Chains A and B, each alone.
Chain A
Amino acid sequence: MKKRDIFIGLSLAIILAIFSFLASSSPDGLERVAEDKNFVERTTAIIKSPIPDYLFPGVNNEKLAGSLAGIAGVLIVFVLGTALARLLKERNETRLY
């Protein structure tokens, strides 16, 4: 993959993240079933996440908070994904030589 392709792919992901506030806010398939079949109240959370529910904390405008959360997530998974792939590649090469 060329630098240009990485840039285009990553930009596209960021644009999607920015416009995430346009997404349907209806419950998803599992949430819907949990509501209809009366087990949604069992929902708990054993850890506290830094950016809960895709809303960047401390930002009052909900659309902006959603976009910022999305951009943060895109960058985090991009860096982790690339780093993990690089690590796997290097470890494989060290073993070979």
Chain B
Amino acid sequence: MHIPDGFLSPPVFISGWALALISLGYALKKTKKVLKEKMIPLMGVMAAFIFSAQMLNFPVLGGTSGHLLGGILASVTLGPYAGCIVLSLVLIVQCLIFQDGGLTALGANILNMAVVGTIVSYYIYALFRRNIFKKDMLAAVFIASWFSVVLASTFCALELAISGTSPLRIVLPVMVFVHIFIGIGEAIITTLVLGFILKVRPDLVRG
């Protein structure tokens, strides 16, 4: 759901940039404090994996596709703030080098996917993990991954509606509807990948 240039009005994309920059500044500060030596290459590897996984669109419904977002994958391995930085880095490179997502909309895209889809979704993960799935980490991963995509698409729809691109009563239900299905793909892939990492390198995953 990389928003291109032209979809968001200046007040919306400027607000998107402002919120993205504030969040990134905070995420950098937090990451600096908790960064351990072993996380350094993991941030690079995670960025590489998420970038390539985002190229692999899988079919959903008729004539529509989705791809991994990777917010929960990054945040459950690196923590929510380093995860946010990794997602942002991927989005910045996609925008500047691959013309995927507009430069004006980059702030909003970071807000939707690297802040809402990563930091906020990590806390949904933590909530489920602590209260409902105390013995089953991957169940919390599955649900939070699904939420990460649906929540990010909700923010995207709100931004489109406030921009006057499409009325809220139209764009919100259709965006959420299609991402309910894309979110299932996200949940399956994230659970499989984290299940694999948990088997081979459990020390890289946060309980």
Contact = CB atoms under 8 A, between A and B. Distances in A.
A17 B96 CA distance: 18
A78 B48 contact: yes
Interface string A22-51: 111111111011101101001111111111
Interface in A48-93: 48-54, 66, 69-70, 72-86, 88-89, 91-92
B98 A20 contact: no
Interface residues of B, number: 70
Contact of B98 (A23, A24, A69, A86): A69
Given A29-B153, A53-B98, A85 B52 contact: no
Contact of A27 (B6, B52, B64, B102): B64
Closest 7 interchain pairs by CB? A82-B44, A81-B47, A9-B45, A49-B99, A81-B44, A44-B6, A16-B52
B53 A27 contact: no
Contacts of A32: 63-64, 178
A74 to B, nearest CB: 5
A37 B174 contact: yes
Interface of B: 1-7, 28, 31-33, 35, 37-53, 55-60, 63-67, 82, 85-86, 89-90, 93-100, 102-104, 153, 156, 160, 165-166, 170-171, 174-175, 178-179, 182, 201, 204
A49 to B, nearest CB: 4
Nearest to A91: B32
Given A30-B175, A47-B96, A52-B98, A1 B38 contact: yes
A9 B204 CA distance: 13
Given A28-B64, A52-B99, A45 B5 contact: yes
Residues of A in contact with B, size category: 35 or more
A5 to B, nearest CB: 7
B174 to A, nearest CB: 5
A10 B5 contact: no
B103 A28 contact: no
